[in-house]
Amino acid sequence: MRSGRLISLNLIFSYPVKWTRYKVLRDFLQNFYDAIGHKNWHAQFRWRYDGNCLIMEAGETCFSHEWLLHIGASTKRNSTGSFAGYFGEGFKIASLCALRDYGWQVRMASRDWLLDVTTTRTTVDNTELESLAYSMQPRPLPHVGSELRLFPFTPKQETLFQCVLLSFYYRENPLFGACIWESDEAAIYFRSRMPKPDEFPYTDDLNGPGIVYAGFQALGSLNYPLVVCLHHHRFEDRERNNLYVWDVIDIMNRLVRYLPASSAAKVLELMKNIWYSYPKRHYDMRSWHNVIERLARGVASSAEERQAWRDAHPNLIVAKKVRTSNRLAANRRRQAMDWIKDSKRSFRLVQEGFLVLGYPELETLCEEAGGFLVNRPADSRELAYIQILESTIKVVFAEFIPDLNHLPPCLIIHNNTATWQGAANCHRLKQPKPTASGYMVRFDLSHVELQRSLFRPGLFSLALSTYLHELAHAFGGDGSKTFSAVMTNMLEVALREAARLEKYGQTWDGLTHPPDS
C-alpha cells in the first residue's frame, strides 16, 4: 500500500441523504457488532471517550478495507439471519453524514491500514463535483483488532452513543432482566428496572417499558415489561428505522410459537389486560387476539402447566365474540352479563382461545345456573293482573302506544333465578310509526315478558314500571337517546297522573285469587 493514497468513492458529497446522529452512530457500531457477533460482544468490544474523541475497538477482529469501498458490498448479504447489517452501505453513508452534516472526523484502522474520511474533486460531464474519499495510509506494523475514532465528540453525544450501544442485542445488555426463553432464532426476557434512554427507538401507541429487537437491533416497543427478540426478522426497506404496531404484533405472533408451556404462561400472565380482546373488524392488523390465543395453546400443551394455570386462575370464563346483528345471541349475552353481576362472583371474561385450557363458556354457566329467561303463557290469576296493567296503559299512557287495540302479549318469566324482571322481543320496522307523543316507534314488540314474582299485592308500582320499560323498547334499545327520552316523558305523566294511578293500584291490591303456587 502506497503512502497517502487518496481513493474516491464516487459518492457525491451533496447526495440527498439525511441520517440522524443516532443512525450514524448505530451504523458505525453495527460494523463492529457484526464482525464480533452477539455472543462475544460484551467480552470483545471496547469503547472509551477521552473528552474530545470517541474510540471504538474490536480487540481480536480484523477485516479488509476493500469492503468499505463499494456501495452494496457486504460480507453479510448471504447470511441475513446472523447479522444486524445487510445493505452494505452503512459505513459509507454514515461517513458522509458524519463529515458533512455533523462535522465529525472519521478515522478507521485495521490490519496494516488506516484511513481518514475526506473529500476530493471529481468531474462529471465537464462539471466539477465534490466526492467522498478515503485518505489511505499504511501502518508500520500489522495490528491486531480494529479501531474507529470520531472527533470532535461532545459529552452529550457520548450519552447518545451509550443509548445506541443499548440498542443492540446481547445477553449482558443492562436493559435485559431474567431470561424467560432463548434459542438461536429468538429470545424473550423480562425487562430490567433500568429505564430506557429518551432517544431509544419506540413504536407509536405502544411506547411502554417493553423493547422489541428485530434482526439484533432495537426497533420498537410494547406495553409489557418484556424484551422480545426475533433474530432473523429483516426489513427490506432501508428507510424504515422503527417498527409499526402491526410489525410488533407480527413479531410476537411468530415468536410465541417457539415458546414452551412454562414460558408461554409467564408471557400470558403479563398480558392479562388483553385476555378479553377481539379484532375490531374482520382484518385488524392492530389486534393482539391471535397472540393471546397462541399463548393459551402454548400453556395447554403441557398438562402440568395447564393445571397450574387453572389453579392460579380459577374464575375465568370464556365469552366468544357476539355480533350485534345476531339478536338472539346478543340478547343471551346481555342476560348472561347481568347474571354475572348479580351472582357477585369474581368472574373474569376471556377470549375463546382459553377454551383449550378447559374454561367454561359464559352462556353455558348462565344456563346451568338458571340465569336465562324461561317464559310461559299467563295463568288466569296472572291474566287478571295483566288486564289492570293494560287498562292503565290505555288510559294513562295512551300517547306512547301506536295501536291501543293491539298491545303486545305478555308472557310470564317462570324461573325466579333469572336476573331480569322483564324483557321485550323486538323486531325492527321497515317504516317507523308515529305516536301522539311525537316519538317514532322503530320496533314491533311480538311480546313482552314479566317476572312472575311481580304479580302480587303491593307490587303494582314495580310491575307497572317494569311493564312501561319493556313497552318503551318499541322506541329503541336501553342505550338509545330516544328510549331515554320516552322513559323520562313517561315518568312526567306518572307524576301528573298520580291520583289515577293510585286507584289502579287499589284495584290491583283488591284482587282475590288463590295463592301463587
pLDDT digits (tens, 9 = 90+) for 363-422: 999 999 888 888 999 999 999 999 999 999 999 999 999 888 889 999 999 888 888 899
**Residue 479 φ then ψ, to 5°:** -90, 0
SS3 423: strand
| Cell digits of residue 57 | 475497538
The radius of gyration computed from the CA coordinates of the chain, to the nearest angstrom, equals: 37
Q: What is the SS3 assignment for 448?
A: strand
Beta strand pairing call for 440-451 and 410-413: parallel
pLDDT of residue 90: 78
Residue 67: what pLDDT? 56
Pairing of strands 54-58, 45-49: antiparallel
- Strands 186-191 and 440-451: what pairing? unpaired
CB atoms within 10 A of CB 50: 10
Measured in degrees and rounded to the nearest 5, phi and psi for residue 448 equal -120, 160
End-to-end CA distance of the chain: 110
Give the β-pairing of 316-318 and 226-230. unpaired
Domain residue extents for the chain: 5-166, 176-258, 300-368, 375-509
What is the second-level CATH architecture of the domain 5-166?
2-Layer Sandwich (3.30)
The reported pLDDT for the residue numbered 19 is 94
Residues in the chain: 517
Strands 210-214 and 226-230: parallel
Please tell me the predicted confidence (pLDDT) of residue 363: 94
pTM for the full predicted model: 0.81
Q: What was the pLDDT predicted at 84?
A: 39
Q: Which residues of the chain have pLDDT under 70?
A: 1-3, 64-67, 69-89, 141-142, 235-240, 513-517
Assigned fold of 375-509: Zincin-like (3.30.2010)
CB of 96 closer than 8 Å to CB of 132? yes
Q: Is 99 in contact with 116 (CB distance < 8 Å)?
A: no
* pLDDT value at residue 381: 93
Angle, to 10 degrees, between the axis of helix 261-270 and the axis of helix 303-312?
A: 20
